[in-house]
Structure 1
Amino acid sequence: MSFLNVFLSMPPQAAEGGNPLMSFAPFVLIIIVFYFFMIRPQMKRQKELRKYREALKKGDKVITTGGIYGKVAEVKDQFVTVEIADGVKVKMDKSAIVMDMSDVAANK
Structure 2
Amino acid sequence: MSFLAADAVGGSSLLTFLPLIVMVVLFYFLLIRPQQKRTKTRNMMLGNLKKGDKIVTIGGLHGTIMEITDDVIVLRVNDATKLTFDRSAINTVVSTSEASAS
**Structure with bigger RCO (C-alpha 8 Å, 6+ apart):** 2
- Do both proteins adopt the same fold according to a TM-score greater than 0.5, normalized to the shorter chain? yes
Percent identity (aligned): 39
Alpha-carbon separation, structure 2, partners of 1:99 and 1:50: 11
Q: Which range moves more in the overlay, 17-26 or 32-41?
A: 17-26
TM-score, structure 1 length as denominator? Answer: 0.73
| Length-normalised TM-score, structure 2 | 0.77
Q: Residue 66 of structure 1 corresponds to which residue in structure 2?
A: 59
Unpaired stretches in structure 2, ≥5 consecutive residues: 96-102
Larger proportion of helix: 2
Runs of 4+ in 1 over 6 A off after TM superposition: none
Task: Report the RMSD for the aligned CA atoms in angstroms.
Answer: 2.0
**Which residue in the other structure is 2:21 paired with?**
28
Which runs of 5 or more structure 1 residues have no equivalent in the other structure? 1-13, 103-108
How many residues align? The count is: 89
**CA–CA distance in structure 2, aligned partners of residues 96 and 83 of structure 1:** 15
